[in-house]
Amino acid sequence: MGEDERAPIFQERPTARIAPEGWPFIAAAAALAAAAFGFGSIPSAAVLGAVTLFVVAFFRNPARDLPGDENTVVAPADGRVLAVGAIEDERGRKGLRIAIFLSVFDVHVNRAPLAGRVVSLERGGARFLAAWNPRGERENVRLAMELELADGRRIVVTQITGLIARRIVCHAKVGEWLARGVRYGLIRFGSRTDVLLPPGSVATVKVGDRVRGGASILARLGAPE
């Protein structure tokens, strides 16, 4: 199914330089810093000013140049590659899984690794273990978005919370068509993003590599079976 058939086109967001979800946190930190300064507590004001700058940096949302063609899988997030390999998930889906760990210093806006129609959004988990903990991928609060590609194959992009993260934001809705590289959500304050690709996909990254969402190539799709 192509993007021009039936499916409404998802309108990319966030697109501003600072993700809108960050402004309440930025405003609160800035207000506390200003109040501390007003009361003459310069050390406290300096600390709170640094916190404000950190929060601004956390919610930064840079534009990226998209590489490759429609079979090029781009990173859905900034961070360090945590795992690369063939797996079978809890629903019996097999494929190439690439996991990315996002520290609190990474950009946390998520992007679609390939173009496709959203066929399901499945929330699960209840814990907030460290994102690099193998149990975290199964037990942490998460949101799995399944996309159907133009050739009918499917991929899964999973946003997973970590020790600090407490909220997953996903603007996409079931039935919408996401363009490759489009910004569709974020995870607040430290997390992990996994991609499950169809069998036959070939990874172009290895564990430990640093990647940039929408700009780094993770893998190439193989020919449909």
Contacts of residue 59, defined as CB under 8 A and 6 or more positions apart, other chains included, come to 18, 19, 21, 22, 23, 25, 26, 108, 186
List the one residue out of 22, 219, 216 whose CA is nearest residue 104: 22
Cα–Cα distance, 98 to 87 (Å, whole number): 10
Contacts of residue 130, defined as CB under 8 A and 6 or more positions apart, other chains included, come to 136, 162, 163
**157: number of CA atoms within 13 Å, CB side?**
32
* Catalytic-residue membership of 191: yes
Residue carrying the six token digits 């159907």: 148
CB 81 within 8 A of CB 206: yes
Cα–Cα distance, 192 to 138 (Å, whole number): 12
CB 77 within 8 A of CB 61: no
Catalytic hit among 41, 44, 120, 191: 191
Phi-psi region of 217 (alpha: psi -120 to 50; beta: other; left: phi over 0): beta
Query: What's the DSSP call for residue 205?
Result: -
User: Could you give the residue numbers annotated as active site?
Assistant: 191
